[in-house]
Amino acid sequence: MRVAVLGLGVIGTTYAYALQQAGCDTYHIVREGKAVPPVVPVHLLDGRYNQKGEEKDGEYAVKLASDNEEYDFILISVACGKLEGALQTLRERNLKGTVILFCNFWNDRKDVEQIIGGYEYITAFPTAGGNMQKDGKLNCVLFDHIMLEGKDIAKIHNYDELIKLLDSADIKQEIPYDMFEWIWIHMAINAGVTSTAAREGNIDDPNRLARELMADAKALTMAVKCIRETLKTVSARGVDLKKYNNEILPYKIPSGIAGIAMKKLFASNELTSRIMTLHYDVNDILYGCRCVYDEGKKFGLELPMFYGNMDRIITARIP
């Protein structure tokens, strides 16, 4: 199969690397004149075959997409609500294919479909992360599954081919009740965690904040309480959280117990702990937090812990 990836970012390149290893032809859509290396060195903590993860090194051969081409799938993973610009790029270059949305977004389905326009699309969510190091090496983590919209909701003509593609790379699929709602829940949980980690106001070193949070059971207890608040914003949007018990169960148990359990999990699970420390994009992190913050204010929700954390973060970033 032929898969195009918008840009040469961490998420898209991580999955392109796995797909290329499985025999898929992968291409990258980059702006004209952008310097692109022919090969990207990769260090991967691979969780597809071992629950503890396997450290692997390899190389990813980068091929560029041409204009006026058709692909089986076009993978889009963009930060900070830049979906509209991403689709504009596809249209300007006359690129065709079923779009896979690998994005955080707070939009509802109607808004996204308006942005997507005439493209067939399916909503998904990666379970991977990492960063591009200064020497050009991709340092990444890949879990054994992705979250994927169900066939009846997605209604793309090549859904079965997508499953075959993912299976070929040993990437399993988990199908939630509704992908849009699942993403909102995911963003709300992340907002609770991030705002707690940066509760003193400084969010400029996410790696350090993540490491300190994971090692502190009391701080993790606070994070659980904050997540309980942020999830109220999802409920306010009309989402029945009972349909997502698996996702929110860890935050329903007594917060002190949850904090201790989370600390033990991070200490024993390298995959989970490393993915927490590899996301360096402060603007992208703040995008999710601000979406949840603004939604809480819009509905007049009482979220004292979350608002307090966010107000300190926002104040600290004012020039």
Asked whether residue 171 falls in the same domain as residue 189, the answer is no
Domain of residue 95, residue span: 2-175
CATH number at residue 72: 3.40.50.720
pLDDT of the residue at 139: 95
Positions of the chain with pLDDT under 70: 80-81
Co-location of 195 and 129 in the same domain: no
The edge-to-edge listing of strands for the beta sheet with 128-132 is 54-61, 39-46, 138-142, 128-132
Do 202 and 316 contact (CB within 8 A), yes or no? yes
Statement to judge: residues 128 and 29 lie in one domain: yes
Instruction: Give tens-digit pLDDT for 169-197.
Output: 999 999 999 999 999 999 999 999 999 99
State how many domains the chain has.
2
> What does pLDDT average to over the chain?
94
Q: 23-82, pLDDT tens digit by residue?
A: 999 999 998 778 899 999 999 999 999 988 999 999 999 999 999 999 999 999 987 668
Considering 147, 175, 203, which residue would you say is the last residue of a domain? 175
Residues 294 and 221 in one domain: yes
Are 171 and 186 contained in the same domain? no
> CATH number for the domain including 223?
1.10.1040
Q: Are residues 14 and 78 in the same domain?
A: yes
% of residues, the chain, pLDDT over 70 = 99
Q: What pLDDT does 80 receive?
A: 62
Given 175, 196, 227, which residue is the final one in a domain?
A: 175
DSSP of the chain, one letter per residue?
A: -EEEEESS-HHHHHHHHHHHHTT-EEEEE--TT----SEEEEEEEE-SS-TT-EEEEEEEE--BPPTT-EEEEEEE--STT-HHHHHHHHHHTT-EEEEEE-------HHHHHHHHTTS-EEEEE--EEEEE-TTS-EEEEE-SEEEE--HHHH--TTHHHHHHHHHHTT-EEE--S-HHHHHHHHHHHHHHHHHHHTTTS--S-HHHHHHHHHT-HHHHHHHHHHHHHHHHHHHHTT--GGGGHHHHGGGTS-HHHHHHHHHHHHHH-HHHHHHHHS---HHHHHHHHHHHHHHHHHTT---HHHHHHHHHHHHHT--
**Residue labelled with tokens 């790029």:** 89
266 and 231 within one domain: yes
Last residue of a domain, one of 175, 198, 225: 175
Let me know whether 26 and 46 are in one domain: yes
**Are residue 22 and residue 102 in the same domain, yes or no?**
yes
pLDDT at 82: 84
Same domain, 199 and 261: yes
